[in-house]
A and B are shown apart, each in its own frame.
Chain A
Amino acid sequence: LAKTTQPISMDSYEGQEVNITCSHNNIATNDYITWYQQFPSQGPRFIIQGYKTKVTNEVASLFIPADRKSSTLSLPRVSLSDTAVYYCLVGEGDSSYKLIFGSGTRLLVRP
């Protein structure tokens, strides 16, 4: 199975911008890239999804380069409540239905 790679952990301070990158070198042509947030003892929660270039919603931006072999989740001004684990989710290989979560990035936001 294709492997996705994310940094294990990141630290930040309130009010800063945080960028988390995911590498996915075997993404399928038609696959979207989706990012999820997970708090302890809860299921993951959708943040943002994109196919190429840049997508922005009310909570985050997603940057995808032309080769689509990586993506960067950008959280503009983090708060303490953004402390969580962040996962990227992509399809794998030639099958859009093989959904592969990354290993997750544990973000700690300090006051």
Chain B
Amino acid sequence: EAGVAQSPRYKIIEKRQSVAFWCNPISGHATLYWYQQILGQGPKLLIQFQNNGVVDDSQLPKDRFSAERLKGVDSTLKIQPAKLEDSAVYLCASSLDSPYNEQFFGPGTRLTVL
């Protein structure tokens, strides 16, 4: 069974530029999560989708971050414009149908903002 796929694996941009990350969850998983993990910290949930609807985006900085999950499968996370403090690893995870299920994480995208 294929795992959660993310791209790109690494991205370097300058502040005020835009960037987008892509995630393809495990086939059949209804729930998709985006996390931000700053070096030395635990992952922080940014947004959670159930199919193509948003369940929780309370920690998403909506003035610069946006995410969508069209057709309830793939998802993209965008940052526009980026700030220095956005440097982190962005993790995508999916689970079968609820937060109680095991989450399967992708390898992450390491973003460096200069």
For chain B, the bracket of interface size reads 20 to 34
For chain A, the bracket of interface size reads 20 to 34
A81 within 8 A of B: no
Assess the A101–B42 pair: CB atoms within 8 A: yes
Instruction: Say how far A21's CB is from chain B's closest CB, in angstroms.
Output: 16
Cβ 8 A contact of B48, one of A44, A46, A97, A104: A97
Instruction: Say how far B94's CB is from chain A's closest CB, in angstroms.
Output: 11
A63 within 8 A of B: no
B73 within 8 A of A: no
Q: SS class of chain A's interface: helix, strand, loop or mixed?
A: strand
Instruction: Say how far B107's CB is from chain A's closest CB, in angstroms.
Output: 6
Chain A to chain B contacts (Cβ below 8 Å), 23 pairs = A34-B102, A34-B103, A42-B108, A43-B91, A43-B107, A44-B103, A45-B105, A49-B100, A87-B42, A87-B43, A96-B99, A96-B100, A97-B55, A97-B56, A97-B99, A99-B45, A99-B48, A101-B42, A101-B43, A101-B45, A102-B42, A104-B41, A104-B42
Give 16 A-B pairs besides A36-B103, A49-B102, A98-B58 with Cβ atoms closer than 8 angstroms: A32-B100, A42-B105, A42-B107, A43-B93, A43-B105, A44-B103, A44-B105, A45-B105, A46-B104, A95-B56, A96-B100, A97-B56, A98-B56, A100-B45, A101-B42, A104-B41
Residues of B within 8 A of A (CB): 4, 33, 35, 41-45, 48, 55-56, 58, 91, 93, 99-100, 102-108
